[in-house]
Chain A
């Protein structure tokens, strides 16, 4: 029999054995998914969240009394709604994954709520602040540990009025994140007679803002309110200086990151921003989390929402230990969470799965660092915003 026949018979044989070997099941490990922006402009926050979730998993795996072995499946949504839906579908369609710690970007979280509901995968949002993610639907699968824009903008408006600023111009990106911040800031401001002279919606990856800024310069506001994430904030702050504009730059939780300060350099001096929850070191479990995080020496900092990702992962593991790795049981148990102790304080989910965080922290940039307003020299009168 010539060589070709023998080789092809061997080929068919090996192909068939591969075909059947692939069907074996692997051992009993419970998979939890983490979804966040691991690449792109806001990847610092995403990577900090992933490392914190991974830390929670490894700590629980080392603990002796844990019933199951846990594994983290981390996926990158690039902070883009379309990529977010793709990876969410991939995770939700995977039978081994029983729960998820999902999303830093509000735009992506909004896009994926339907996917989690369709595949009834219980998830906890760890960083996105748009209220509609939980209040905009009555899906039992969606929960959130961090606070929302409503109280963030209420505190921001009262504080800025107390610093007797009265005239604002608003630039916000046209995603749900930017529009949400603008909407709730406008509501909060109308209660305390602040006036918004003009509003400009911009595309998050727009390069050139000189046109919008020139129009704002004509309106001559005291403060420029920016609703959006760090990359866009960097470009706007830098191009403000190009047009000789010295207004106060007031941002949102989206720019509370080192990436913003590195991008803008010393122009960041005196920039204001507001964020839910206290700074990590002031949180109840803050010290323990910071030390454990340093011990693992990840090459990225935990960033603003790392603690929330850690708390969300721990909550899911506690629930799985109690009811076992089944999506429906986990979902029902999560809905009934009351006063669950976590490093970000007690977690209680209301009927929409929302955990209410009252504490909002005011930040100002002083010498290239985000400093809590109360401890800054601006509060003590040594420096002035204007």
Chain B
């Protein structure tokens, strides 16, 4: 039998105004198990907490019920109070008589009656509470970073700096990600390569970091501190450890007509290639879709020219399995497809391009060597129209655009406009915008410079239609400030395409049992307070996989994710949430139903020997819950027919006792 103390809080007049707290305390003192029932002005105050602590000690209480505000507010407080008085913190139950009673009911009789019932339910529950102790599990001191863009690189560097080994898995042949494709960066106009490539080199040279490029994660099992990850290393047909990256093969390869994805298909590369000069690892990769040797067995030029014998046509995909304590997702973003925006004629004209394509066109290492030329005829464009928010903030059709703001477009467009006006003062640059969003350090100043110093025409209004006519692009747009419709004959139209999470994110989320929002961005554990953690313990988020971000934000989030990982890897053992499922092995019949519903894979089955009542020994298949993985949702408890599976802290018996108390 429990010895329960009931503590009713007035919360000033918040509760006492609508609930007769004295009557509540009085009514509850006769409930089974209750030995003391008190009320006080503010239970959460130091004095209130002291009152509880004293009562626990004086009356040898085994459990307490606090009738107060929502447990979401002060459950943790009162658990600490109880613990300080030597009571197991899970012997505390809260009756929510503020948010769910005094604040929503008007008169005192009603409020009091309901408060008493809620109190009785809490008492009924505490009567069945059992002290709970969180479980412990060891931590594998190695981290995995999925994605080798700036987010992944920064996270890996920071983790490695703290002394923990870390692996980067990148699907592309090189790390670097989107940032490697950029020309300059706002608002300082640093050259992207100049600030990124040193980091790439750092990461390559750091002996704590292993880079698995041209690889992908194919399976994840385990749980926080103890993940087991299978990584598929795709065959690149070049021995990574031997290739010197001299590039001779990429010059001699006879297959020259392979669209160069690094330049977004605006020029061609060879079938054996190094994506760009500063690639890390700087080794060649054979594209099996185009290599004639791999496709038809005829050629072998690269093998002949390779002086170190790095070419291996027989290479196969390899799988390796590694253990990690933490996983960081840094899968990044892509611009959405512009195919469906007919009004902007993206599919009709080569001269309608996306901003990322413009980055390549302006990059010294790009297809035009850094000279801005029209893709259609290689002429110098004189009139350039930028269209903002293409597919962003788009509620109309989900299959076309995205409802959210892509966040980075305002700033990079200002950057583009400014760079163009700087380099080619003879061009007219129009930017059509809905709003210009510049919340960042030196951002608005940057945008104003584009307008004021560089003479970019910023027009509030939207482009309605782009129609190719001859070698011009007829742009029809509104100018909302001047109240007129503009007709511009443009040479080049640049669309600020919305960005979306990388396609690899969703299957990865499934493997990680990490949750995603409807846009396939990873969900944070808390949008404000835990922005770099996924709700799945041990999985962290870095960069644009969590939501649109610019480089400074990405880097700071990458650092934050790294510090969370370091915090985790520093621990030798993890303590879990004690409100987890528990299988009564004697009751379990081994049917595997619970295993199927567990979203965390926390339930496994094993054959165990049991000494039966008739003294025989029987081997039975029974479920066991990995308490470190279980998050305590309770899906298994309902799936279990025999009631063998129960949830600590929310047992069937406790919930039914609450039901009974409420329905008295």
A pairs with B: no
